Structure 1
Amino acid sequence: MPLRYVDPHKKRGRSYARSARFGRSPVGQFIARHIARRTDPYLFRLTGGRVNMGPVINAPLVSTGAKSGQKRQVQLTYFNDGPDVILIASNFGGAKHPQWYHNLKAHPECEFGDEPFTAQQVTDPDEYARLFSLAERIYPGYRDYRAKTAPTGRTIPIFRLVPR
């Protein structure tokens, strides 16, 4: 099953906006953190990536553990920038980077949606600003996460996954 192309420039309707607004609410955040992260991997496999719990499309990232060397899987929201996949390491606006960030830094070879990629962290400030702006079009909650991380001094990392 090929990875779905998520165009950040695509117009999204009112139901998408309502779903995103709910996703940013305290109840929506609870569901995303505690329920969807456990059910979305099963929905992805059962439906070929056509169904997930929230308004944004997600897929499984399989990376190699930074310390353990074991395979690790996590379901992540993404969008495309040409043939590349873009991942935002927001960790729901937490003070620390998500574990998968450390895994990709240590072992950039990964699979996303059952396709092979090489991860590259975006470090160019102009490219970072452009991609973060596109991410906010996919899910406006990224704006909230950036505001939550600002007091801690954490900059939310962005990864570009380049097909192998």
Structure 2
Amino acid sequence: MPLRYVDPHRRRGPQYDKGVRIGRSPIGQFMARHIARRTDPILFRLTNGRINMGPIVNAPLRTTGAKSGKPREVQLTYFHDGSDVILVASNFGQDKHPQWYHNLKANPDCTFGQEPFTAVEVTDPQERARLYGLAERVYAGYGDYREMTAATGREIPVFRLKPR
């Protein structure tokens, strides 16, 4: 099944907004970090990506470990910019980049959903700001994460996945 197209410009309804409010709450953040990260990969495989634990569409990123060279998998929220997939390395606003960031930097060829991509970090400040603004339209919690990381000086990386 092809990766579900996520249009950041699409207007979302009140149910989506309610789900985002819950996701941004302390209980929602706990569930995302400790429960959904384990259940969403299973739901993705069982339903071919049709069902997630929450309202935000996500898919599995499969990378090669930067140090180990072993296959790694993590479920991530995404959106599209044309035919490219955009990923935000927010790590829930923590002061360090997520491990998958280091994996993509070391080994940019990856699989997202079930499709092959090559990852490129967006380094142009204007393009990064544009894409981050779109990310906040998909999930407003990215604004929270940006505020949290501002205190530590960490700029949240954005990746563009280009189809191979």
In structure 2, the residue matched to 1:80 is 80
Unpaired segments ≥5 residues, structure 2? none
SS at match of 2:144: helix
SS at match of 1:50: coil
Distance 1:55 1:2 in 2: 19
| Residue 114 of structure 1, CA deviation | 1.0
In structure 2, the residue matched to 1:90 is 90
SS at match of 1:95: coil
| Residue 55 of structure 1, CA deviation | 1.3
Distance 1:46 1:10 in 2: 27
Greater than 3 Å deviation, 4+ residue runs: none
In structure 2, the residue matched to 1:54 is 54
- Are 2:12 and 1:12 aligned? yes
Deviation per CA, 1:21-69: give whole Å up to 9, x if none: 0000000000000000000000000111010011110000000000000
Distance 1:54 1:97 in 2: 23
| Residue 11 of structure 1, CA deviation | 0.4
In structure 1, the residue matched to 2:118 is 118
Distance 2:100 2:49 in 1: 20
| Residue 12 of structure 1, CA deviation | 0.2
Normalised by the size of structure 1, how large is the TM-score? 0.99
Distance 1:70 1:14 in 2: 42
Please report the RMSD computed on the Cα atoms of aligned residues, expressed in angstroms.
0.4
Unpaired segments ≥5 residues, structure 1? none
| Residue 14 of structure 1, CA deviation | 0.6
- Are 2:63 and 1:63 aligned? yes
Distance 2:115 2:18 in 1: 31
Deviation per CA, 1:127-159: give whole Å up to 9, x if none: 001100000000000000000000100000000
Distance 2:50 2:8 in 1: 17
Distance 1:63 1:148 in 2: 27
SS at match of 1:132: helix
Distance 2:61 2:19 in 1: 24
| Residue 80 of structure 1, CA deviation | 0.3
